[in-house]
Amino acid sequence: MSIVALVPAFNEATRIKATVRSTLCIPGIDRIVVIDDASTDDTSKIAREAGAEVLTLPRNLGKGAALDAGLAHVAEDADILLLLDGDLAETAAEGSALLTPILHGNADMTVATFPRTADKAGFGLVKGLARWGIARMGGGFLADAPLSGQRALSRDAWTHVTPFAFGYGVEVALTIRALRRGLRVVEVPTAMSHAATGRDLTGFMHRGRQFVHVLRALVRLAFERTPVSG
Ligand SMILES: Nc1nc2c(ncn2[C@@H]2O[C@H](COP(=O)(O)OP(=O)(O)OP(=O)(O)O)[C@@H](O)[C@H]2O)c(=O)[nH]1
Ligand SMILES: [Mg+2]
* pLDDT, tens digit (0-9, with 9 covering 90-100), for 94-130: 999 999 999 999 999 999 999 986 555 666 899 999 9
Q: Which atom of ligand 1 is nearest to the CA of 61?
A: 31
Planar angle of CA 91, 213, 54, nearest 5 degrees: 45
| pLDDT of amino acid 230 | 45
Q: With contact defined as beta carbons under 8 Å apart, do 161 and 153 qualify?
A: yes
63 C-alpha vs ligand 1 centroid, how far in Å? 7
- CB count within 10 Å of CB 139 equals 11
pLDDT over 90 at 225, yes or no: no
Distance from the alpha carbon of residue 230 to the mean position of ligand 1, in angstroms = 33
Contact criterion met (CB below 8 Å) for 214 and 169: yes
d(CA 59, CA 4): 24
CA distance 103 to 95: 13
**Domains in the chain with CATH codes:** 3-223 (3.90.550.10)
